[in-house]
Structure 1
Amino acid sequence: MTRLRIHFVCTANICRSAYAGLRARTILSPHDFTTSSSGLQARAGVPIDAEIAAELRRRGIDPTGQTARRTETTDIHDADLVLTMASWHRGVILENWPEAVVRVFTLPQFVASARPQAPGPTSTTGSGPASIITAAYQHRVPAGSVGDVADPYSKGPEAAAACAATLDRLLIELDDLLAPISPPRRAAD
């Protein structure tokens, strides 16, 4: 089975998308998914934000070596699902890569759009991730209607903790939606 490729995007790839890409590796099944991240305005090589790194360490993840990467065409073209942290990120991606429209969402938008489309245990509709992504696109909610993941950069440890908690919740929901056969998770670590 081919693993679903999920790419996370934010502004600088040192807070939200970096956290999501690394944390998703511990929440999503490694046998079913691969994750990566980048930033639309990233300066390559800048290290991950210290406050977000501390949140990852609290969850048992070593962010050593995680540095920023700028979003490139291959990131968008190679991903099965592109999840941004804010509506404006999604807008920039669609301006530059309009052909990716069916697989580019904000993370909150995808969760809100896919939740009612995800098959239950007795469903006879397609239940694979590709069918859920297609259904989420066909029934998507407007990106701005579900909010963005707040940027914690330079806002202190409380903002980083709140961002990490939000991303943990969304990633657990993402896992439940894309891997509906396994039992739902209850809470983040």
Structure 2
Amino acid sequence: MPVLPNSIRPRLPPPSPSSGHTEPVAPLPRRDAKRLHPRRLAASAPLRGWGICWGLRTRLQLYRAPAHQYYGCCNRIDASRSASVPYNFHVLVVCTGNICRSPAVERLLANAWGGSVHVSSAGTRALVDLPVDPPMENLLTGLGVSSRGFAARLLTEEMVREAQLVLTLTREHRGSVVELLPGAVRRTFTLRELARIISMHGLGGPYATYAEGLSALVFEAGRLRTSAPPQRPTDDDIIDPYGQSRSTFEESFEQIRLATDTIIAAVGNGPGVQA
């Protein structure tokens, strides 16, 4: 398809939500490609409902697409999945085997926030389908938190992409997440890192909902991350108790509990929060 000059290039009609097909529009001149880079288009309200792809010879092209399939211009939303999900914020917790540390964090956070926030976990080298390790399960049970129905999962890029907040148990896990999806770096923290930033800067509510509180914390913590360095790099890690003594499990669980309590208090700080 030939490139049309600005003087005769057709105007883009407003997107139609009822449109069920993809309708190509004339490619843009090369000089406009930079101006209409996807990052800039994401903030452009008049172009909502228009999909973006790179055509032949790396020319940016706009394609007419059903408006309900896009948010802004760049972030694809699965409408069928969204319609069946009762929550509007997703927290992903990541460790190695997904049978000790990350399940404990998952169940503690889920127990505090109920069904209004979806909390899941996965492992970089998960022992797939195994339940929570018995020593950690006993520690959870001691706080009245159930681990029933849990099965370990292997971390995937899609899991990271779907999460609005990724909490890892060590700096190594944080690196693995960002390696899978570099764009997740601003919403990926170690558990103790996020708790430290919250404590040092007094972050907290009140918020209207848990989702609003978590969104605010992710934004503020990302902005303040470099201003709250740990005294020692290992202070950002939760020790791995797998295969260790009961006392090591208790030490690891205590580190997890203190950090999750800080995050829960910040999100639920004040009477404005509604579950």
Residues in 1 aligned to 2:215 and 2:188: alpha-carbon distance in whole angstroms: 13
Q: 1:148 is matched with which residue? A: 237
CA contact (8 A) 1:118 1:180 kept: no
Larger radius of gyration: 2
- What is the deviation of 1:145? 6.1
| Structure 2 counterpart SS, 1:30 | helix
The percentage of counterpart residues that share the same residue type is: 25
Q: TM-score, normalised by structure 1?
A: 0.83
CA contact (8 A) 2:107 2:146 kept: no
Q: 2:157 is matched with which residue? A: 73
Find out whether 1:100 has 2:184 as its counterpart. yes
1:161 alignment partner, one of 250, 263, 266: 250
Larger RCO (CA under 8 A, 6+ residues apart): 1
- What is the deviation of 1:112? 1.4
Find out whether 1:15 has 2:100 as its counterpart. yes
Query: Per-residue CA shift, 1:139-170, capped at 9, x if unaligned?
Result: 11457363301111111211112222221111
| Structure 1 counterpart SS, 2:192 | helix
| Structure 2 counterpart SS, 1:29 | helix
Q: 2:260 is matched with which residue? A: 171
Query: Per-residue CA shift, 1:111-161, capped at 9, x if unaligned?
Result: 11233151567xxxxx73312211101111457363301111111211112
- What is the deviation of 1:64? 3.2
CA contact (8 A) 1:48 1:63 kept: yes
RMSD (Å), alpha carbons: 2.2
Query: Per-residue CA shift, 1:87-115, capped at 9, x if unaligned?
Result: 00001111121000110000011111233
Flag the 1:72–1:52 CA change in 2: closer, same or farther, 3 A: same
Residues in 2 aligned to 1:155 and 1:182: alpha-carbon distance in whole angstroms: 41
**Structure 1: tracts of 5 or more residues without a match:** 122-126, 184-189
1:77-156 correspondence runs (5 A): 77-115=161-199, 116=201, 118-119=203-204, 128-140=213-225, 141-142=228-229, 144=233, 146-156=235-245
Residues in 1 aligned to 2:223 and 2:264: alpha-carbon distance in whole angstroms: 20
**Structure 2: tracts of 5 or more residues without a match:** 1-85, 207-211
Residues in 1 aligned to 2:183 and 2:239: alpha-carbon distance in whole angstroms: 27
Find out whether 1:59 has 2:148 as its counterpart. no
